[in-house]
Structure 1
Amino acid sequence: MQKIPATVVTGFLGAGKTTLIRNLLQNAGGRRIALIVNEFGDLGFDGDLLKGCGAETCREEDVVELTNGCICCTVADDFIPTMEKLIERADQLDHIVIETSGLALPQPLVAAFNWPEVKARVTVDGVVTVIDAAAVAAGRFADDEDRLAAAREADASLDHDNPLEELFEDQIRAADLVVLNKADLVGTDGMAAAREAVEAAAGGRALKVVPSSGGRLAAEVLLGIGAGTEDLIASRRSHHEIEHEGGVAHDHDDFDSFIAEAGPVADVAAFTAGLRDLIAREDVLRVKGFAAVADKPMRLVVQAVGARIETYFDRAWKPGEARETRLVVIGLHDRLDGAAEARIAAWIAALAAGERPASAAA
């Protein structure tokens, strides 16, 4: 029996995974594609965004959302049962695409394809890692080992672990294809720097690397790789596997998220400017969600990574759908405590109402 090919799309927060998949669905060439979408935070933003792409391949019944936690940590509870349900309708599918959380380790997820219930019917066509070329070119994930060693020597009580760096490397180590997205935001030198960082993280393994702007790549580039990655993943171990040899469960204690709710946005431009200021002051990694806009019948998509914020209207509000603003805020655990959450939520509510937040005047 022919196996169903599955593509795992991974990459750090805000790299452009959902945009790439949305473009893939809109240009699927008649392929019947089922989606598994895993998110950090329980808003279900990515799945809802994909369902609203306007293409025949974005049917709600073809999108499965897993919001109970990171898919790499809940393989037995969430991923395996979901795959079994998709296998039952195998005659209706040409491909399965899995979008991991930006905080996920791809290795345990890919290894789960070796479970007998899955391996007999599904194969990993390829792991596609999406990289924010602009961020990488700017050195966001580059560690200076000499400086870290000097800092540790000066104050041994400090914890200088960099979880972002490890995630970046682990997601590249697992890849069959690396997409340098947002190529339009960097020049020739920046793209060369991003490629160099990818090659360094790959640890000497040759990888196919392709540039992309706005996640626009032909389906033929992303699908049909034929890697059979489930048979290769044991040689692409993550930092966690190397350090603990499988003896300690992986978790995401380094990161936290919460949902900020507000009323309709009075002025989109002012809201965006205020949100950019908020992100910088509170050192927020990622903001994503939907906003209602006063006197507008359509839903506003809000996507923010650092200082880069994108907003656009994706669809009309459905009858009976609550017209409200709900944003997932993701940050480092040691920065996103209860006081910070309250402060950020109040700031967002004030911005939506067209007011100047009290904390902004501080």
Structure 2
Amino acid sequence: MSEKIPATVITGFLGAGKTSLIRHLIENSDGKKLALIINEFGDLGVDGELLKGCGNENCTEEDIVELANGCICCTVADDFLPTIQKILSREDRPDHIIVETSGLALPKPLVRAFGWPEVRTQVTVDGVVTVIDGPAYRDGLFAADPEAVQAQREADEMLDHDSPLEELFDDQLNCADMIILNKADLLDASEVASATEQLKGRLRPQVKMLETSHGKIDIRVLLGLGSAAEDDLASRPSVHDDADDHEHDDFESFVLDIGEVASPEFLVAKLQAAIATHDILRVKGFITVAGKDMRLVLQGVGSRLQHYFDRDWKDGETRISKLVIIGEHDMDQAAIAEMITA
């Protein structure tokens, strides 16, 4: 029997830099033929489009599969397993499979899927890599002592007792074989040291931790961990281990068609106002700018928004201006749309 194909699962919270990391891997694949499974949250395939723009012969558009039917850990049987089987049935099988989960996916159910009989004989989980947004962690979006925070919540009857974001972060840490503290260039040395010390106290002893900027890391460091995670689930605790099923009812997304914008700055100002007013966690999309022949990419987490022109609009291509808005459940979509498009 031929050697198993290694697969790397890349997880992490919204806007941590997973796509930047994968794009760097593609551009520096060192001759490896990669297949990518990208789990979009929302109807606009931003991440897949960015990765397809890399133009690497070892990772063509045919090697990139987007799963846009919701959280990958909730659609394992319907979406993920058939996709893996299709990749395995190809004549030109990849040297390595990369799976980028959505920012809301629980990694453990996905790793468990690699233990299915039709998959485990051909693929092994080389490693689970969790990408962390360094500045977000520094700013306290994830508390160093979650038990103390939970105790404070339970002491105050006016607060929500549930903490889904913290639970998700814990699951991503607990399932990881490697932690990437990304955007380290936005932290000073003391902040990096503090984050590293806090995070290491929450990790399994064997988990490696590295700091990066823009997801740039040597492919030889990231791939080849050899963890066989599908056979090591017991050491990767999850708050959802006792649940028969789970849903991400605390989050929702919608696509907003905003039309041509006068300038990137004009759009950013409107988005910042909407983010400050509503429970928006993540924004990403492609935009048409008046007087520009290039496509604008806009991505943001919280109030931090980034934008750049990535390529010319192609001849005959419809010049879209759409944003995926991801936020907490019961967002006022109409009010958000009015603030952005008015």
**Which interval holds the TM-score relative to the shorter structure?**
over 0.9
> Where do residues 120-139 of structure 1 align in structure 2 (5 Å cutoff)?
120-139=121-140
TM-score, structure 1 as length reference: 0.90
Aligned to 1:209: 209
| 2:335 aligned with 1:343 | yes
Please report the TM-score for the alignment, with normalisation by the length of structure 2.
Answer: 0.95
Opposite residue 286 of structure 2, the aligned amino acid is F
Residue 313 (structure 2) aligned to one of 298, 314, 317: 317
CA offset digits 1:319-353 (Å, max 9, x no partner)? 3322121111111114x1xxx11111122223xxx
Is this contact kept in 2: 1:260–1:348, CA < 8 A? no
1:197 to partner: Cα distance = 3.3
CA contact (8 A) 1:298 1:314 kept: yes
Q: Quick one: which amino acid aligns to residue 294 of structure 2?
A: M
Pair 253,197 (structure 1): closer, same or farther in 2 beyond 3 Å: farther
Identity %: 56
Match of 2:278 in 1: 282
- 1:277 Cα shift? 2.3
* Aligned 8 A contact 2:33 2:96 in 1: yes
Aligned to 1:238: 238
Contact in 1 for aligned 2:39/2:67 (Cα 8 Å): yes
Q: Would the aligned equivalents of 2:5 and 2:95 in 1 still touch at CA under 8 Å?
A: yes
Q: 1:18 and 1:88 mapped to 2: Cα distance?
A: 26
Q: Secondary structure at the match of 1:240?
A: coil
**Conservation of the 8 A alpha-carbon contact between 1:287 and 1:305:** yes
Q: Is the 8 Å Cα contact of residues 5 and 122 (structure 1) preserved in structure 2? A: yes
Alpha-carbon distance between aligned partners in 1 of 2:257 and 2:300, rounded to the nearest angstrom: 16
Counterpart of 1:172 in structure 2 is 173
- Read off the aligned partner of 1:346 and give its amino acid letter: E
Match of 1:153 in 2: 155
Report how far residue 257 of structure 1 moved. Answer: 0.6
1:146 to 1:83, Cα distance in 2 relative to 1, 3 A = closer
Write out aligned runs for 1:50-89 (5 A).
50-89=51-90
Q: Following the alignment from structure 2 to structure 1, what is the Cα–Cα distance between the partners of residues 123 and 91?
A: 9
Indicate how the Cα distance of structure 1 residues 31 and 151 shifts in structure 2: closer, same or farther if over 3 A, else same: closer
Q: Which has more helix, going by share of residues?
A: 1
Give the counterpart letter for 2:297 in structure 1: V
Gaps of 5+ in 1: 351-362
Q: 1:114 to 1:147 in 2, by over 3 A?
A: closer
Q: Distance in 2 between matches of 1:111 and 1:324?
A: 38
Question: Which residue is equivalent to 2:7?
Answer: 6
In structure 1, the partner of 2:291 is 295
Taking a change above 3 Å as real, the CA distance of residues 144 and 64 of structure 1, as seen in their structure-2 partners, is: closer
Alpha-carbon separation, structure 1, partners of 2:140 and 2:99 = 28
Task: Return the letter of the residue paired with 1:149.
Answer: A
Please give the secondary structure, in 1, of the residue aligned with 2:6: strand
Root-mean-square deviation (CA, aligned residues, Å) is 1.6
